[in-house]
Amino acid sequence: MDFRISADDRVGAPNRRQNKPQARPAAKGQRVEPVMGQSMAFSVDAERPSGSGNGGGGKPPKGSRKPPRKGKAQPARQRRKSRSGGLLMGLLWWGFVACLWGGIIGIGIIVYYGAQLPASNTWAIPERPPNIRILAADGSLISNRGQTGGEAVTFRELPQYVPAAFIASEDRRFMSHFGVDPIGLLSVAIESVQAREVTRGASTLTQQVAKNLFLTPDQTLGRKVQEAILAVWLEQNFTKEEILELYMNRVYFGAGAYGIEAAAQTYFGVSARNLSLGQAAMLVGILPAPSAYNPKTNPDVAKDRQRLVLNAMAQEGYISAEEANAARINPDQTIRTVVAGSESYVADWVESLMTAYIGEIDGDVVVQTTIDFKMQKDAEFIVKEQVAAEGPKRGFTQGALVAMDIDGTVRAMVGGVDYQASQYNRAVTARRQPGSTFKPFVYLAAMEKGYTPDTLAEDAQFDYNGWSPRNASGKYAGTVTLRQGLAYSLNTIAARLAIDVTPEKVVEVAMRMGISSGLTPVPSIALGTQEVNLLELTSAYAPFANGGNGVIPNVITRISDVEGNVLYEASNAGPGRVIDPNVLAEMNDMLKTAVEVGTGRGANLGGWDFGGKTGTSQNARDALFVGYTSAMVTGVWLGNDNDTKTTLSGGNVPATIWSEFMTKAHEGRSPAPIPGGSYAGQLIAQQMIDPNTGMPLIDPATGQPQVQYVDGGTGQPVQTMTDPSTGQVFAIDPATGAPIEGLTPAGGQGINPPIQTGTMIDPATGLPVEGGIDPTTGQPIQQIDPNTGLPIESGQIIQYDGNGQAIDPVTGFPLQQPTNGFGAAPIDPETGLPMTLIVDPATGQQVWVPSAPTQNGAQVVPPGQLQQEQPVYQEERSQRTLMDLIFGN
C-alpha cells in the first residue's frame, strides 16, 4: 500500500505559499531525490505501486531528500559518538600494530647486538686491579697505590647511609627493577621531548656496572643494547648487595680515585668505613662529573651537590629532614680535604720497587715500610718552611731530604716542596752534581793509599792535560794539611789527590761506599761533577757513621697479601766492611773538622758528635749538606728544577735544614760518639780479598764471603774462635790457645763465659765433651801447632764452621778432611790445592798462601792484608796558622 502525507497535512500548511509547483511522482522503479529547499517526504516503503490515484507514480519533486532507511533514526549526538568510537578503535588498532612491529624490530636489534657478545657461559666479573696498601713503621697508612688508588671494601663494612646515598642519588628504584628501569626510561624520554634535548641519563646502577666492567664508554645504540643485556644477566646472577658493592668499589670519583675507599682517603684522609653522612653525600655528589664536582677543584659546586644528595636521601626515607640539615655543610664553611704530603713521594718510590721485590702483583698486598711518620712530617715542614723563607731571597724553589739510620733503614724522605704541584721525586729520581760532598770518597782513596790527615799538599793553581781546577773563592792557601784541604773544600787539593790515586780508584771507592750511578773516571770527578741522586749519596756516608760497613738503602721491611701470607721480608745482609778501621778513624777525624771549623760549621747538633760535608755545584745550581751521627745519616739538597743558578751554598740553608731536622730526630736519644780514635782492644771483622783478583773470597762450603778478624789496634790478623754456646767471636793466643784478655769483638761485651783451654766442645750441642775425645773422629783431642799446622800432644779446642767443617786457626780457611786429627794444610778455594805456610816479611808472622808459583817472582800478600804505599809528602812541616785569616774563619 502506498501511503502519502499531503502538504496540507503538515503543521502550518495553510500559511505556506501555494504557488510552488508540485513535485512529480517518480516513475516506477526510479529513485526519489530530495529537492533542496522543500520539505522532505518520509515514507515507510521506498516505492509506490503504479497507477494509483492522486497522480501517484510520478517523479518526486526536484531537490527532494532521499527517504530514510527502515528502522529508528539516530540522534546527531549518537552519530558523533559513533564516529569518535571508530577513531579510538582505529588508533588502538594501529597502536597495537605499531607496538607489534616495534617489538619485532626491538627483538631483532637485541638479537643482532647480543650476538656480538661472547657466549654467556663465558661471562665473568673481571678481577679488580690489585691495590698496594703502604704503611708506616707504626702501621699507620701512608697511601694506597695501584690503578685504583684504594682497596676494596665490602657492603657490610660501610655505614648504612653510604650505600643509601648511592641508591637515592643514582638509582632510586635499584632495589626493585630487573636491571633496566622502564619507568625511568619513560620519565627521561618525556623530559627530553619537553626540553627538546636529552636532559639526563637513564642507566641504572646495574647498567653502569655492566658498562664499566665489560664495555667501552661509546655512546652508541649497540653499546646501550649490550649494556641492557649484561645488566639483566648481572641481576640474574648476583644479589643487589653484590652489584652495589661492585659499583661502589669501581666507580671513578676523580683525582685518580677508583672506588669509595680510594675516594674517602683521597678527599678526606679517612677510611670509607668511617665516613660521616655529610662526607658520604659529598662523594656521591661527585659521580655525574668527577672533574667538575669534586671538592678539591670546585668546593662551591661540591656543596650544592651534597645538598641535592642529602635531600634525595630524605625524600626516599633513608634519613630524616633533620639529619639532612645537620649533615649539610654550611655554605660559608670551608671544605677540609686532605692534601697529599711528602709521604706520597715515599709511596711512589715503594710502588716502583714492587716488581723487583715480588714480581707481578696479582692481588691486593700490604707493604710495611721503615718510615717514621713523625720524622717524615718534621722533615716536610722544615723543608717547606726554609724554601718559603729563603727561596725568594736566594733564588731557589725546590728542596729534598733523605734521612736513614746508620744501617741504611730509610726513616724520612722529602722529594719536593709540594707533591700536588709536582710528583717528580728529587730525592730518588733526580740526578744532580754533588759538588764537594763527593770529595770524601777522593780523600778515602788517598787514605787507603797511605796518606794521612796530616799529610801536606800544595793549594795552588796547576794545569793537568789542559784541565786547570780553581778554588771557588779564588784564593789559595799554599801548603796545607789534607785535613784542612777537606775542611775548607779546596778544589786544587782534591784534584791533586784524584790524579795521584787515579780517577779509576776514586770510582771504585765511591761505588764500594754505595754510589750506584754510572761514573766516568776523569780527573774532574774529584770536584763532584758526576751526577748522582740524593738517596745514594746519603747512603754512601753511612759507613762513616756505622764503623765502616756498607749499606743498601731499604724502605720495605715486609710485603704480605691481605690474608697475611708473607711474600717478602727484608734481611740484614749487606756489603760488609768497606773501610779499614784505621782509615775510618782518619776520615771521621777530617769530617768532624769540616763541621767544626770548615765550610760545614753552620751545622750544629747540641751534645752530639757529628761529621759532614757541604757541596755547591758550579754557579750554585745545587747546594747540599750530608752529615751523620752515630745514630743517623741525613742528606739535604736545594736548587731549581730548571738548573738555574742561585746564591746558595751548602753551608747556609742546607746546613740549617739539616740541623733543625736532626735536632728533632735525636730528641730523647743519648748522645754517642761517631766511630774514630783507637780501636785497640777490639776485634774488627774484615772481608778477605783475593790478592790476584781483588774480589772477595767465597767460602766454598757456605757460598758466603769469607771474613777474618784483625786487631783494631794494630790492624793485623789474629787467631779467633767462636763460642758455640753464645756465637761470640774472641781472640786466642796461638801459642796457648787461651783467650786473649781485653781483645773482644767491636761493640761486644766480651766472652760470657770464656771457654777453658783443653775443653772439647761438641759442635752439635755446644756442650763440653768429657775425656777430650773428638766426637767427629773418635780420636783423642790433639792440639794444632800454629807454626806447622800439625797436631801436637795435649788438647786444644778444635774449631768448626757452621757446617761442621774444621777451620785452620791461623787463616780461617777450611782444613782438608783429616784422617787422624786436623793437621792437614788448608785448601786454596781458587785452585783446590793445599796451601803453603810462609813467613810474611812485612809482619814476621807465618801465614798460609796459595801453593801455586807467583808470577814474576812477586811476593804473595796474605788474604785481607791491605797494601800500603808511602805517602807523597814525607817531610813533616809545621801546620800553617794563616788558614783562618785566608778563609775568614
Which grid coordinates are listed for 65? 531528500
- Cell 635499584 locates to 174
3-state secondary structure of 91: helix
Catalytic pick from 170, 261, 380, 448? 170
CB crowding 69-103: b at 16 or more within 10 Å, else e: eeeeeeeeeeeeeeeeeeeeeeeeeeeeeeeeeee
- Cell 666507580 locates to 251
Residue 457 near residue 567, CB atoms below 8 Å: no
* CA–CA separation, 531 and 537 (whole Å): 10
DSSP characters over 166-178: HHHHH-TTTTTSS
DSSP characters over 371-386: --HHHHHHHHHHHHHH
Catalytic-residue membership of 245: no
- Cell 497535512 locates to 9
Catalytic pick from 64, 169, 203, 436? 436
Residue 411 near residue 403, CB atoms below 8 Å: yes
Catalytic-residue membership of 235: no
* CA–CA separation, 2 and 48 (whole Å): 5
The number of helix segments (H) and strand segments (E) in the chain equals 22, 25
Sign of the four-CA dihedral 552, 746, 798, 841: positive
* CA–CA separation, 612 and 593 (whole Å): 9
End-to-end CA separation in angstroms for the chain: 153
Residue of 500, 484, 514, 525 lying closest to 449 (CA atoms): 500
Helices 503-513, 439-449: inter-axial angle, 10-degree rounding: 110
Tell me 192's DSSP state: H
* CA–CA separation, 372 and 379 (whole Å): 11
Residue of 198, 200, 225 lying closest to 211 (CA atoms): 225
* CA–CA separation, 286 and 263 (whole Å): 10
Distances in whole angstroms, Cα of residue 857 to Cα of each of 221, 726, 834, 851: 90, 45, 20, 13
Q: Which residues have C-beta within 8 Å of that of residue 156, sequence separation ≥ 6?
A: 241
Residue of 693, 580, 635 lying closest to 410 (CA atoms): 635
**Which residues are catalytic, by number?**
170, 436
